[in-house]
Structure 1
Amino acid sequence: MNYFVDENSIVRDIWKRTDTVLLIFAGSAAEFALNKAVDWLYYTGKIPTNPLERLFSTVEYAQKIIFQEEQMALATIDKITQIHQGVEKSREQSIPDWAYRDVLYMLIDYSIRSFEILERKLEIKEKEEIFDVFMKLGLRMNLKNLPINYNEWIIDRNIHLKNDLEKGKFTIHLFEQYKKHLGSFRYFILIQIQQILVPKIVYNKLFTTSYFPTILVINLYKFSKALKLDNLLKSILLPGKHKQEIANIGKFENL
């Protein structure tokens, strides 16, 4: 059976882990709040209204692509493309090409950053493999002006970070919604994780001060994993009403 992502790929190893996936989206939530195309989220209203539900929905789509048989994965990608096209048609505008690339680049970058924070440093070949998988996704979505290799991606990623981010009213409102839906304590933890995850340019635009020695948050979690208490810690750090969605993220962990 052919899969969209090879069964032995590092991408599968990254995306089967609940904690790593949650870090990927914690970093992406911080950065995309700054993106100049963030107004597209407000057109549908779904993410600002319920960011956690939207998170779990997005994770479900991503894992379907990564773990499904190739034809089913391609059908999932095509469905995502159709959803975006429907929004564009409704608004009578096109989502900018650079905005699509920004999201794709975030998936690459935060896959690498999250795994390295929680597990180990990745080899350059593994980073190139992550790049290749997500470029394959981007090509299926007919995205334009994609980099041809990992080194070119690093250059373009930095250009996008410099050109496509600004802190505005949508940024502030999104973070207010994160706090509303997470509660003050969990929001505090989210901020600590984002501070250690995001690139320096994102950090400087979002955070004026560090609330806490952020590395302690990660070390506490690693210690809990060693004691096999990480599931207990997750249940404390994440809203109980999303217990089933959190369990669903980890359904591929034994693959």
Structure 2
Amino acid sequence: MELFVKKDSVVREIWGKSDTVLFIFAGASAEFALNKAVDWLYFTGKLPADPLGRLFSTVKYARLIVFSSMDNAHASIDTLRKIHGSVEESRGASIPDWAYRDVLFMLIHYSIASYELLERKLSITEKEEVFDVFYRVGKRMGLKDLPLTYTEWLLAREVHLTENLQASKYTFDLFKQYKKHLGMLRYEVLVEAQKLVVPKTVKKLLYLNDFSLLSLAVPIYKISRHIRMDWFLKYMLLPAAYKTQIKEIDIHPK
């Protein structure tokens, strides 16, 4: 059986660890809020009603693709495209290609940034592996003007950050919803986590400074994993509704 992502790929290691995925989630939650096409996510009303669930859904699809056979991954990508197609039909307009590319670019960036924060620096070859996985997702979705290499992606990513992000009424409403659904303490942890992985452009638009209190906690957290205290910390910080979902991330699909 051909796999969409090889068993020995670093991509499986990245998406097979709940703490890495949580930082991917944190970074994406910040950048999602700034995207100029975020109004599409407000169209159905699902994003403001359940912003955490909407983002976890994106994470769930990404993991499903990473740990699937080639055929099942393609089926998941096709389903994802159909879901967005039905939203486009309801609104009578098309989601721009650059908005889809932005999501892929986020998954590439935060996969690399989160893993390097919590584990180790990735080699160029490993970064190219990450790029290749999401490039193939984009190709299957029929997206145009995708960069062909990791090096090209680095340039395209900078252009997207400059041209496709803005602070809008949706940005501030979405962060308001984050605070509402997380509670004050967890919301503050989310913001501190965002500081560690988001690009400078995102920090500037969200008025985030460079220093994060979590930069002091990350080394302690790494030690806690070795003495199996990391789950205690996750249970303290995660909403009860999502604890089971996060725990399941550490169970690699066969």
Q: TM-score range by the shorter chain?
A: over 0.9
Cα distance in 2 for partners of 1:211, 1:191 equals: 11
Write the mapping of 1:71-90 to structure 2, written as runs, cut at 5 A: 71-90=71-90
User: Which letter does structure 2 place at the counterpart of 1:76?
Assistant: S
**Runs of 4+ in structure 1 over 3 Å off:** 208-214
Q: CA deviation at 1:48?
A: 1.2
Cα distance in 1 for partners of 2:161, 2:53 equals: 27
Q: CA deviation at 1:208?
A: 4.5
Q: CA deviation at 1:155?
A: 0.3
Q: CA deviation at 1:212?
A: 4.9
Cα distance in 1 for partners of 2:55, 2:80 equals: 15
**Map of 2:241 onto structure 1:** 241
The answer on whether the counterparts of 1:192 and 1:217 sit within 8 Å (CA) in structure 2 is: no
Q: CA deviation at 1:220?
A: 3.2
User: Is residue 2:61 matched to residue 1:25?
Assistant: no
The answer on whether the counterparts of 2:203 and 2:209 sit within 8 Å (CA) in structure 1 is: no
User: Which letter does structure 2 place at the counterpart of 1:39?
Assistant: D
Q: CA deviation at 1:47?
A: 1.6
**Map of 1:94 onto structure 2:** 94
**Map of 2:34 onto structure 1:** 34
Number of paired residues? 254
Q: CA deviation at 1:224?
A: 1.8
**Map of 1:128 onto structure 2:** 128
**Map of 2:229 onto structure 1:** 229
Percent same amino acid at aligned positions?
53
The answer on whether the counterparts of 2:25 and 2:56 sit within 8 Å (CA) in structure 1 is: no
User: Is residue 2:246 matched to residue 1:250?
Assistant: no
TM-score by length of structure 1 reads 0.96
User: Which letter does structure 2 place at the counterpart of 1:80?
Assistant: L
User: Is residue 2:63 matched to residue 1:63?
Assistant: yes
The answer on whether the counterparts of 1:59 and 1:249 sit within 8 Å (CA) in structure 2 is: no
User: Which letter does structure 2 place at the counterpart of 1:61?
Assistant: Y
Cα distance in 1 for partners of 2:3, 2:92 equals: 36
User: Which letter does structure 2 place at the counterpart of 1:93?
Assistant: A
Q: CA deviation at 1:127?
A: 0.3
User: Is residue 2:139 matched to residue 1:139?
Assistant: yes
**Map of 1:51 onto structure 2:** 51
User: Is residue 2:165 matched to residue 1:165?
Assistant: yes
| Distance change (3 Å), C-alpha of 1:84 and 1:222 | same
State the Cα RMSD in Å.
1.4
The answer on whether the counterparts of 1:14 and 1:20 sit within 8 Å (CA) in structure 2 is: yes
**Map of 1:14 onto structure 2:** 14
Cα distance in 1 for partners of 2:25, 2:69 equals: 24
Cα distance in 2 for partners of 1:151, 1:208 equals: 28
The answer on whether the counterparts of 2:195 and 2:211 sit within 8 Å (CA) in structure 1 is: no
The answer on whether the counterparts of 2:179 and 2:187 sit within 8 Å (CA) in structure 1 is: yes
Cα distance in 2 for partners of 1:221, 1:47 equals: 31
Partner secondary structure for residue 251 of structure 1: coil
Q: CA deviation at 1:241?
A: 2.7
**Residues 60-69 or 137-146, more deviating:** 60-69
The answer on whether the counterparts of 1:4 and 1:67 sit within 8 Å (CA) in structure 2 is: yes
**Map of 2:194 onto structure 1:** 194
Cα distance in 2 for partners of 1:242, 1:116 equals: 24
TM-score by length of structure 2 reads 0.96
Q: CA deviation at 1:178?
A: 0.5
Cα distance in 2 for partners of 1:205, 1:5 equals: 35
